Amino acid sequence: ELLEGMDLGSVIRQSGPLAIRRAVHIARQICKALAAAHDAGIIHRDLKSENVVLTVRGGDPDFVKVLDFGICKQVDAASSSQTTPGMVMGSPDYMAPEQAAGAAANIKSDIYALGTILFEMLAGRLPFTGRNAIDVLMKKGAGPAPEVTELRPDVPPPLAAVVSRCLARELDDRPATMKALEYELTRAIEGRASAVAAVMGLQQFDGDDTTEGTGSIPQPLAHRPSTGKLAGLGHGSHGETDGESPSKLVTLHDQAAARSDGGRTPQAEPGTDKGKALLWVLLGAAVVIIAVLLLDPSLIPGLGRGEGGDDGGDNSGDDGEGRVEPPVLPKGGRKG
């Protein structure tokens, strides 16, 4: 395939740090590409910005193509930024600590490399720099990566936290899969509803990922409204929305999921408005029943109809006094 475009490394060197939403847009596409490779049992092992090409496709000027999956068959050494032959395979600037230690690369090694690319896109430079490859690898083993907000304070804290998790030295501290990382990236910028929709394979939001613009809520393809979009996603530096609240967006997504599941609607959960209303109705009904029984105990079978003195009253007379009569006509009239 002939690709017309520029590799991501060259774009960063020429333009400097990318717009936040543009960087996330590119990173999410890399997640999708690597997730497909991982599902096929392929570990890239040499993911770096020079292996990511940005081309124009379908109106998207930053359509991503991930290249160079042939490291295990084709190794060509030249410098610290290129693939190094021998026991350590990969580019030292993007290499995970476990790779530098000689361990086999795995899914989380690719996640570390993508975290390095994301840091590079946001900060305009790599998280670790040194005089040579050995210096860079020693710094990776000596301490944690710097926070991206130290170099770019306007990066939203949720997004900065995702970058730090990707660059964690311990494998267990990194996202488990590329799909999980895509979810975290989307949630950090677009909110939970869009993140869930993206992972579930629902329609993507229609926002402009290269700007700080708005987008619409992803809808299931079978239930897309013909007109009208709920705008407001993507505003704010913490993944919040100016239009709909995150909780309301999640409710809309849950209702859409329920409609696609046999037409069932979600039941009211404890703590929701419907649940509270139902609780008050039940309590009110219980109070009414108790009040009626207190006013007329004869409604309870056997209560107050003591026979043979079992009710504790004075039942020695035959005129019915001292006895609670059931609501029927008495055998004889009462005096007075």
Average pLDDT over residues 121-142: 93
Q: Say yes or no: 97 and 232 in one domain.
A: no
Residues 166 and 229 in one domain: no
Say whether both 27 and 160 belong to one domain.
yes
Q: Are 11 and 119 in contact (CB under 8 A)?
A: no
- Asked whether residue 150 is domain-assigned, the answer is yes
Mean pLDDT score across all residues of the chain: 72
> Distance between CA atoms of 43 and 72, rounded to whole angstroms?
10
Token pair of 7 as six digits: 């590799």
The single residue of 7, 46, 110, 209 carrying the catalytic annotation is 46
Per-residue burial over 95-107, b = 16 or more CB atoms within 10 Å of its CB, e = otherwise: bbbbbbeeeebbb
- Is 320 part of any domain? no
Is 154 a domain residue?
Answer: yes
Q: Cα–Cα–Cα angle for 199, 203, 204, nearest 5°?
A: 75
Percent of the chain with pLDDT over 90: 43
Residues 134 and 223 in one domain: no
Number of domains making up the chain: 3
| Residues 243 and 163 reside in one and the same domain | no
- pLDDT for residue 44: 92
Name the least confident of 8-22, 148-162, 253-267, 268-282.
253-267
On whether both 91 and 156 belong to a single domain, the answer is: yes
* Residue range of the domain that includes 219: 212-266
Cβ pair 175, 165 in contact under 8 A: yes
How far is it, in rounded angstroms, from Cα 18 to Cα 212?
12
Does residue 317 belong to any structural domain of this protein?
Answer: no
Helix (H, G, I), strand (E, B) or coil at 25: helix
Cα–Cα dist 157/241, whole Å: 15
The reply to whether 234 and 275 lie within a common domain is no
Structure tokens at 72: 């295990």
Residue 206 domain-assigned?
Answer: no
Contact between 193 and 253 under an 8 Å Cβ cutoff? The reply is yes
Same domain, 165 and 47: yes
CATH number of the domain where residue 133 is located? 1.10.510.10
Taking the C-alpha atoms of residue 118 and residue 231, their distance in angstroms, rounded to an integer, is 27
pTM of the model: 0.58
**Are residues 222 and 162 located together in one domain of the fold?**
no
- Domain presence at residue 327: no
Write the DSSP string, 72-86: TT-----STTSPPPS
Q: Are residues 152 and 221 in the same domain?
A: no
238 in any annotated domain:
yes
Q: Where are the beta strands (DSSP E) in 85-228?
A: none
Of these ranges, 20-34, 67-81, 202-216, the one predicted with the greatest mean pLDDT is 20-34
The answer, yes or no, to whether residue 180 has pLDDT greater than 90, is: yes
Residue 316 inside a domain? The answer is no
37 with 68, same domain: the answer is yes
What DSSP string runs through 190-232? H-HHHHHHHHHTPPPP-S-TTTT--B-----GGG--SS-----
Which amino acid, one-letter code, is at 94? Y
For residues 260 and 273, membership in a common domain is answered with no
Q: Determine whether 46 is an active site residue.
A: yes
Average pLDDT on 142-153 reads: 95
Domain-ending residue, one of 190, 220, 240: 190
Sheet hosting strand 60-66, strand order edge to edge? 5-7, 52-57, 60-66
List all residues 6 or more positions away from 263 whose beta carbon is below 8 Å from its beta carbon. none
